[in-house]
Structures are given as structure tokens and as C-alpha cells.
Amino acid sequence: MKTSLLTALMAACFGLASLIIAPAADARPKVNTKTQHYRVDGSDAAAIVSSMMGKHRLLGGKGRVGRTKMKRRIEWKFTETKKSCRVKSHTIRLDFTTQLPRHRSEKQLRRSLRKQWRAFAKHVKWHEGQHRKIWLSCARQAEKQVNRARARTCGQLLKKLEQIYKKSNTACDKRHARFDAEETRTLGRHPLIRRANLRK
């Protein structure tokens, strides 16, 4: 018996709006990662930040400067007997698309500003990488539960697997939210953001 379940599209984003002063077998998940860049303009810190804020439609919401989208596809095969059903094979495919800022002409920025911009862009990339790691961790934890799952019928097993992934999604969302909350405070102290706030 082969069943395909749970094609999900999710996104974790790096937000800044509140920071700117202005109103069975153990099969590892199969992973594919794609990186996209959006253009950032501006010759001073305030203009650079304003440019990033203006990309909110691209990134799915105002105040976001980076985004990682995840599309998940899960397939499994069941082994069924007269008295039980278990997972014979289990495959998770995760497709990540990360959107990051790239300055249009960073070489023309003043040296100190260019250094701050590069550090900021590097941090955004790191941040989105952490979201990717969280999703991978959640997928592996759910996978272990799936491989141990048993039921009297395959219909009952399918319902049990759906619950496993439903709980996994909820727990994973909380991990993303906690991480973003911590990062928002950290990013508010970043030199580029402070410089933008001071309009230097």
C-alpha cells in the first residue's frame, strides 16, 4: 500500500519593522535548497534599510528582510497483515527557497558602511540557515515517530501519522517563533540598524 500525504508550504521570515524608528528504515530527509536575491538600493544606512522595508510584498509581509520557504512532500509504503499495519518505507522531501538581500552597488558605499552592510547581510543569511536547520530537526524527529508507529489497520495508521505531523508542525512553528523573538532583539543592536536610526 502506497500513500502520499501532506504537501505543505511554509515560510519563516526575518522581521525588522519594530526595530526601525519610523512609523521504518531510518531514511534521512531528501533536501534541495535554492537561494534567490532581491535588490537593495541606498547610499546611506537609512536608505538601505528603507529599501529593504519596501520589499515587503516580495517577502510576504512588511518588515521582513529575509525569508525561507519550505515545501514538504511525504511518501510512505505500508506493510499490512491480518492483524497489523506498519510503515515499510518512509520518504520526506524538503525543498527550501531562501530569499536574501543583495546591495545593487555595495562597492560604492563608504568603507565603514560597506563593512556594516556586509556584516548585516551575512547575519541575515545565517538567520535563514537556522530556520532551515529547525525544519530539518523537526522532520527528523517526526520521522523517528513515524518509523515506530503501528496500528491494527492501515487506515488507523494513516490517521496516526497525520497526527504525528500535525503535532510536529505545531511544535516546529513554536521553535521558529522563539528563535525569531530572540533574533529581533539581537538585530536591533546591529550597527547598520543603529546607524539607520541615527540617520548617519
- Per-residue pLDDT tens digits of the chain, which is 200 residues long: 444 444 445 566 555 543 443 334 445 788 999 999 999 999 999 999 989 888 766 666 666 888 999 999 988 888 888 889 998 888 889 999 999 999 999 999 999 999 999 999 999 999 999 999 999 999 999 988 998 899 999 999 999 999 999 999 999 999 999 998 888 888 878 899 888 887 64
Contact between 70 and 10 (Cβ < 8 Å) = yes
Beta carbons of 15 and 64 less than 8 angstroms apart:
yes
Q: Dihedral sign, CA of 106, 110, 115, 120?
A: negative
What pLDDT, on the 0 to 100 scale, is given for residue 6?
Answer: 44
Distance, in Å, from the CA atom of 176 to the CA atom of 128, rounded to the nearest integer, reads 10
Max alpha carbon distance in the chain (Å)? Answer: 74
Q: How far is CA 18 from CA 36, 63, 197, in A?
A: 25, 8, 12
Q: How confident is the model at residue 69, as a pLDDT?
A: 92
Range of the domain at 103: 2-198
pLDDT for residue 169 = 93
Give the total number of structural domains in the chain: 1
pTM to 2 decimal places: 0.84
Model pLDDT, residue 185: 80
